[in-house]
């Protein structure tokens, strides 16, 4: 595949907006689409304030900042994606919703375009099977927050071609990221290991072993993690954590992956973490 000139990102939440920012900062034109107009305007203002912060700190020049913002276009019309070389999907962590989006993307985008998913855990092989181009479907898993975190986990579905893998790896490196490669099993590498730890932190809280503050301080100061597991769960989104645990539980078929009832209850109550102002902790 020749060099990617235009990326289309679907989903303007915390991941999609961060991915769009990273692409624009690396000289690539970006279309960002979300169904929800409010999400699009929030994405636009959070990218602008992140760029302005970098300009005021001197991390990038004023001219570079203006250029980054010029490379970004926000759209509520998926049809605008017909010119994209590479699509990165970052919508809700639901297999059915992702599959129905990939059916549409398969029809709208040019036949050479690669369709990547930023899914945290869902089978790339099954997402790919909803398209007529499974060889051009791949997992491209950014970490949160995408502008800061160095890693991209690339996931090859059963039919992903070597050319698709090579183009995705080249793009990830052009974005300044380090690549690891995972086979297509539930949760891949990072979340297979991280989410059971977060789930166990919920069980530690649920069974009254310790307070939330002591659990987080224990893991921050005891193991040098930048955030405690409950603070990190709020940062990721409790809905995202629960969806991943459910995929691990179903996909790997072991009860050790059963989501903690407290995590389920928080999500049922709409306590989704920082994005809602309340999760394990409250945010003002």
Residues acting as catalytic residues: 120, 141, 153, 191
Gap between the terminal Cα atoms of the chain: 47
In the complex with ligand CAA, the residue whose CB is nearer, 22 or 84, is 22
- Does residue 205 interact with ligand NAD by CB under 6 A? no
Which residues in 31-60 contact ligand CAA (CB under 6 A)?
50, 53, 59
Binds ligand NAD by CB under 6 A, chosen from 65, 134, 187, 237: 237
Binds ligand CAA by CB under 6 A, chosen from 19, 39, 232, 267: 232
Q: What are phi and psi of 111, to 5 degrees?
A: -65, -20
Q: Determine the size of the site formed for ligand NAD (CB under 6 A).
A: 27
Shortest gap between Cβ of 120 and ligand NAD (angstroms)? Answer: 3
Instruction: Give 142's strand partners.
Output: 152
Rounded-to-integer distance, Cα 45 and Cα 55, Å: 15
In the complex with ligand CAA, the residue whose CB is nearer, 48 or 144, is 144
Distance of alpha carbon 206 from the chain centroid: 28
Contact 261, 135 (CB under 8 A): no
Shortest gap between Cβ of 143 and ligand CAA (angstroms)? Answer: 4
- Does residue 115 interact with ligand NAD by CB under 6 A? no
- Does residue 172 interact with ligand NAD by CB under 6 A? no
Q: What is the number of residues in the chain? A: 284
Q: Note the helical H segments in the chain.
A: 14-25, 37-57, 62-70, 95-108, 124-128, 162-174, 190-206, 212-223, 229-236, 238-252, 261-268
- Residue 153 tokens read as 């986990």
Shortest gap between Cβ of 175 and ligand NAD (angstroms)? Answer: 15
Peptide bond preceding 145: is omega within 30 degrees of 0, i.e. cis?
A: yes
Rounded-to-integer distance, Cα 225 and Cα 219, Å: 6
In the complex with ligand CAA, the residue whose CB is nearer, 28 or 84, is 28
Shortest gap between Cβ of 82 and ligand CAA (angstroms)? Answer: 29
- Residue 50 tokens read as 């992140």
Shortest gap between Cβ of 11 and ligand NAD (angstroms)? Answer: 3
- Residue 217 tokens read as 């301080």
Nearest residue to 69 (alpha-carbon basis) of 21, 121, 8, 139: 21
- Does residue 190 interact with ligand CAA by CB under 6 A? yes
- Does residue 123 interact with ligand NAD by CB under 6 A? no
- Does residue 106 interact with ligand NAD by CB under 6 A? no
In the complex with ligand NAD, the residue whose CB is nearer, 15 or 24, is 15
In the complex with ligand CAA, the residue whose CB is nearer, 11 or 106, is 11
Rounded-to-integer distance, Cα 227 and Cα 133, Å: 40
Stretch that binds ligand NAD, among 4-12, 44-52, 173-181, 254-262 (CB under 6 A): 4-12
Strands 137-142 and 151-156: antiparallel
Stretch that binds ligand CAA, among 99-107, 159-167, 172-180, 188-196 (CB under 6 A): 188-196
Rounded-to-integer distance, Cα 271 and Cα 238, Å: 7
Using CB under 6 A, list all residues that contact ligand NAD: 10-16, 33-36, 39, 90-93, 97, 101, 118-120, 142, 144, 236-237, 240, 275
């Amino acid at each position: 595949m020749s060099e990617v000139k235009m990326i289309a990102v679907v989903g303007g939440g915390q991941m999609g907006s961060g991915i769009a920012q990273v692409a624009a900062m690396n000289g690539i034109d970006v279309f960002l689409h979300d169904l929800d107009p409010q999400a699009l305007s929030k994405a636009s203002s959070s990218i602008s304030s992140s760029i302005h912060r970098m300009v005021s700190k001197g991390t990038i020049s004023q001219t570079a900042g203006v250029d980054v913002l010029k490379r970004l276009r926000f759209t509520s019309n998926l049809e605008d994606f017909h010119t994209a070389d590479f699509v990165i999907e970052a919508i809700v962590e639901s297999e059915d919703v992702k599959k129905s989006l990939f059916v549409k993307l398969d029809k709208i985008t040019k036949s050479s375009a690669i369709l990547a998913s930023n899914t945290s855990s869902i089978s790339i092989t099954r997402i790919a099977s909803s398209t007529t181009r499974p060889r051009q479907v791949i997992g491209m898993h950014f970490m949160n927050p995408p502008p800061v975190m160095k890693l991209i986990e690339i996931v090859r579905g059963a039919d992903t071609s070597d050319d698709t893998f090579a183009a995705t790896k080249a793009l990830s490196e052009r974005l300044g990221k380090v690549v690891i490669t995972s086979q297509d099993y539930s949760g891949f590498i990072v979340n297979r290991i991280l989410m059971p730890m977060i789930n166990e932190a919920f069980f530690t809280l649920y069974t009254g072993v310790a307070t939330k503050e002591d659990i987080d301080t224990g893991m921050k100061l005891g193991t040098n993690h930048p955030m405690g597991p409950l603070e990190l769960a709020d940062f990721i989104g409790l809905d995202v954590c629960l969806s991943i645990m459910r995929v691990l539980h179903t996909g790997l078929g072991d009860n050790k992956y059963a989501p903690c009832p407290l995590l389920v209850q928080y999500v049922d109550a709409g306590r989704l973490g920082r994005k809602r102002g309340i999760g394990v902790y409250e945010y003002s």
